[in-house]
């Protein structure tokens, strides 16, 4: 059973930075994709960024150039570095996992494991 545990959320002012972490455990194969979704009140669930098994990355247009996804395979940890944060980035951020191969973009429907979420709040 895959388990995902997020950390690193919090409150910052507009223009600030945060780094989210996600500890991944229980994966039985190296062929998997991980990423970050977010959901704000009244808005749709959005795939913010993802990284596939070959290291290919993808980003939502709303965060491209400001957010950077990375993973440390030795530590089984996924990161999301968020810079130049805006109030519209305020949301609950969820780490997510899918059994999948190389390449991107990764279909959102493949992601079938979720963490508990970590709140990010950006004030103006």
42 Cβ neighbours under 8 A, 6+ residues apart:
none
* Summary mean pLDDT of the chain: 94
Which backbone phi and psi does 109 adopt, to 5 degrees?
A: -65, -15
Mind listing the pLDDT tens digit for each residue in 26-68? 988 778 999 999 999 899 999 999 999 889 999 999 999 999 9
* pLDDT tens figures, 83-94: 999 999 999 999
pLDDT of residue 105: 83
What is the rounded distance in angstroms from the CA atom of residue 96 to the CA atom of residue 117?
Answer: 10
Q: Do 73 and 87 contact (CB within 8 A), yes or no? A: no
**What pLDDT does 100 receive?**
87
For 81, phi and psi rounded to 5 degrees?
-85, 120
Whether 104 shows a pLDDT value over 90: the answer reads no
């Amino acid at each position: 059973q895959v388990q995902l545990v997020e950390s690193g959320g919090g409150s910052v002012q507009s223009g600030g930075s945060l780094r989210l972490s996600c500890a991944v455990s229980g994966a039985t194969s190296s062929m998997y994709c991980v990423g970050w979704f977010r959901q704000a009140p009244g808005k749709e669930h959005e795939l913010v960024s993802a990284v596939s098994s070959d290291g290919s990355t993808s980003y939502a247009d709303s965060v491209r150039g400001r957010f950077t996804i990375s993973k440390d395979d030795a530590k089984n940890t996924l990161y999301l570095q968020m810079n130049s944060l805006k109030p519209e980035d305020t949301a609950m951020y969820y780490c997510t996992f899918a059994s999948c191969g190389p390449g991107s973009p990764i279909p959102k429907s493949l992601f079938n494991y979720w963490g508990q979420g970590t709140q990010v709040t950006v004030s103006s």
